[in-house]
Structure 1
């Protein structure tokens, strides 16, 4: 099994690159349906949010999951596979876009760390400027939705960048934030272990104390609809934890 070495804990760096365009259509209606079978951590130090080791039905999905599709866009392809010895979900796009959501209720004060493994096999054409609406495609990204104690909803994405951004930077489309966890052609073709301190990222973006902020939806989002390109990514072992994985 090929990996990128020890798990890296990503903490935000105060570098912002912004463009004055609308945020992605992913925000609209992302969490509008009734939530059932919500995953609530049981107090264990590490809790698996998306376990792709054991295949489950994709149509229809189990309760607590949702495949979010978009009008006028064909959905991404999803399948259970073993990639380089790792049980994973394969996400493929060809001028397509959609999201696979898991409904959760995760307190950032208790479970601030999000970790996962990903393997990018086919990246998005890096000649299209990913800072623009026309280039807003990534081979793999996570969509996160938070709710504060007073009911304020906030969203962001964690992305695999194409060319313009380095790990720890933020890509901004309008006012919508994308945190860069990894990316670039040099990192394609092997497994990477990632950990992001969500509490630190939340505080960097919106300020205040993340204690009491709840992560209510987590989605894997793969798209190539803006560029018309193709992409293939594998994702495994999506977890939240009280401390960074060793």
Structure 2
């Protein structure tokens, strides 16, 4: 299933994100808030529910040979808030899949940042921050289905399975690194736990997500 391509050709009508000073909140799952998030189904449905985890509310994702995600339309100026911050946790990694191939394009946790090409829809691009099973941390590659999506392994392997991890990444710098040019504005953020290509099972937890200054 061409999950990457489907994500990046979504017709985007940006919504207003929650903004406080230099922080723009995208996901406030810790407050039990799913406002503005929409579902996108590719192949079967990953179940997304708000649950208590270690004394706080988070978004729990459970996939069984499925691929569906949640996305939120936003409008982010990377000149002002270029860094994406988030927390996440996985319960298990996927094993044996080569994520650089179409057959292995599955992840227990991933966050998309989508850049619209406007009227030139063929230029719509996305960066995927993923928890890889074997790719080295900070490595990047083009998605097997479309060169318009770049993948970055933020976590890899089993060392931190079962632990909440705090992450941050400079989206502006990542875009330049992958696509070789300056990015436009961010038009959507999406999350997905997917196992449709491998037929495996995976569960993950997503905490709050926001953009901020360096």
TM-score of the pair, normalised by structure 1: 0.77
1:51 partnered with 2:13: no
1:237 partnered with 2:208: yes
Structure 1 gap ranges (5+): 1-22
Q: Is the 8 A contact 1:98 1:221 kept in 2?
A: yes
Q: Is the 8 A contact 1:27 1:155 kept in 2?
A: no
TM-score of the pair, normalised by structure 2: 0.88
Q: How does 1:7-156 map to 2 (within 5 A)?
A: 24-28=2-6, 30-33=8-11, 35=13, 38-40=15-17, 42=19, 44-56=21-33, 62=35, 64-70=36-42, 73-124=43-94, 126-147=95-116, 152-156=123-127
Deviations 1:2-57 (A, max 9, x none): xxxxxxxxxxxxxxxxxxxxx94332265534636x02464611121001123356
C-alpha RMSD over aligned residues: 2.3
Q: Equivalents in 1 of 2:197, 2:118: separation in Å?
A: 36
Q: Is the 8 A contact 1:112 1:241 kept in 2?
A: yes
Equivalent position SS for 2:137? coil
Q: Is the 8 A contact 1:171 1:180 kept in 2?
A: no
Aligned length: 209
Structure 2 gap ranges (5+): none
Shift of 1:149: 8.6
Shift of 1:66: 1.3
**Structure with the higher helix share, 1 or 2:** 2
